[in-house]
Amino acid sequence: TWVDYHFKWDPAEYGQVTKINIDPKRVWKPDILLYNSADEKFDATYPTNVVIEHTGLMTYIPPGMFRSTCKIDITWFPFDTQVCKLKFGSWTYDGGTVDLRFKCSNESLVTIEQRLNDPLNCSVNGAGDTSTYIPSGEWNLEEIPGIRHSNLYDCCTYPFIDLEFFMKIRRRKLYYIFNLIAPCSFLACLALLSFIIPPDAGEKVSFGVTILLSLTVFLMMVAEAMPPTSDAVPVIGMYFACTMIMCSLSVVFTVIVLNYHHRDAESHPVPNWVRKLICTYLATVLCMQNPAKTREASGQQPRTSSFRNSSMTMRRRRSREFGGGFGGAGGGYCGVGSSGVGGSAGNFELRERSSKSLLANVLDLEDDIRGGGGVGPPTYFQNCIGASVPSPSSNGHQQQQQAATHQCSTRGDLAAVLNELRIITKKISDDIADNEISSEWKFAARVVDRLCLIMFSCFTIVSTCAILFSAPDVFKG
């Protein structure tokens, strides 16, 4: 508004007309422009009529959509507060012709002279009118303070006057919390589940890679929502970067855990540092118990020792049942002239006792087939192979020779079976020892899994609190 003395009249002389509307092209008006305008036409106002009162008061309020340049600080995005400056002033008129001032808030100052001579400078500091402001879904308008500037240049006698408004707006964060931050936090928690999934499930690595790809998609959404600037790294970008680093490291440690879990005794014997550092020290710190150590502490023997002890116990029991095994009284089984062999009843008893002695020798891996602990072929093989059999002189001697020959061929077959059973038993013993080493590697993998679960859980909680809660306006609105 301004006062133009050319447009003063007496309403009584003009039919009580106190106000008229005139085309702005037919009257003088100040060329007030937005200095930092970013619009293509620079002046984006629509030329409405000028309202003229009979006192000469001119009111010109053209509507328009102003687009200005504003430096955006995205350090605390999406918890940021921006301050944009709007600078209005005359483009050609200096302060001697057009003097721009704020509307004084002191109602007691009626005349212009009183307002200009106000010691509190009520027309120098002001604020924008927000009575007709419509709330936005993305921004909250905090305040619009203003200040009057007077700049004197060398070219002109009078200073140029401009009014600067500082529009303080705060971003509404609810949209970003539910669409970006909350899903990222959930994915970070899901990444911890990769250390709980059993290695035999076969889904640990694929699960971690899937979460990593999901975080990449959310990071692209954040990049689209932010202005392209390299002045600062936003806080949400740092949070996503930390979460992606955590997920990447979780995939790396998952590979290490799977490598430990699938190692065997043939290719990777357990080194001493793994036994001491992981299986002993870290397991104690993490309150985990090694199954092998637990068996030793409870007085149980390892599986290989228990296998051998049970074999020897069973052999001694069978030796007691059969009267001391072979070589006792009346124990010549293949030699000629033994009084214990005769007829079909003797052959049946001989086969039964030979079969039982074979089982006893199979269960004992370190003794020979007779249980005497000697080295070399048994006595009955010497009788069958190296001893000379007397010539038969009667039917009884002929039957005895036939029985001895039959028993010697049976003993040869049983010796071959015994050799194969010893090989199988040794293979079973070696497999048990290899399984113990594999179990030790699997226990080391479980310890590393537990350690990673605790470390990454603490990292997720600390990074979330340290990054997101460090924003100054995180709890506002």
pLDDT tens per residue, range 251-306:
999 999 999 888 887 778 888 888 888 888 988 888 888 776 665 555 555 544 44
Q: What pLDDT, on the 0 to 100 scale, is given for residue 82?
A: 92
More confident residue, 361 or 17: 17
- Stretch 41-57: mean pLDDT, rounded? 89
More confident residue, 103 or 448: 448
Q: Which of 68, 23, 70, 66 is nearest to 47 (CA)?
A: 23
User: What are the pLDDT digits (tens) for 165-186?
Assistant: 999 999 998 888 898 889 888 9
Cα(376)–Cα(280) distance, integer angstroms: 47
Measured N-to-C along each axis, helices 182-192 and 395-468 cross at an angle, to the nearest 10 degrees, of 160
User: What are the pLDDT digits (tens) for 245-262?
Assistant: 999 999 999 999 999 888
pLDDT for residue 375 is more than 50: no
- Stretch 92-100: mean pLDDT, rounded? 85
Residue 207 in contact with residue 152, Cβ under 8 Å?
Answer: no
Cα(149)–Cα(166) distance, integer angstroms: 13
Q: What pLDDT, on the 0 to 100 scale, is given for residue 20?
A: 93
Q: What pLDDT, on the 0 to 100 scale, is given for residue 457?
A: 93
- Domain(s) of CATH 2.70.170.10: residues in the chain: 72-172
User: What are the pLDDT digits (tens) for 452-477?
Assistant: 999 999 999 999 888 888 888 777 76
Encoded amino acid at 410, one letter: T
More confident residue, 199 or 369: 199
Residue 40 banded pLDDT, cuts 50, 70, 90:
confident
CA 169 to chain centre: 35
Fold of 72-172: Acetylcholine Binding Protein; Chain: A, (2.70.170)
Task: Please give the model's pTM, rounded to 2 decimal places.
Answer: 0.63
Q: What angle do CA 224, 225, 230 make, to 5 degrees?
A: 80
Residue 408 banded pLDDT, cuts 50, 70, 90:
low
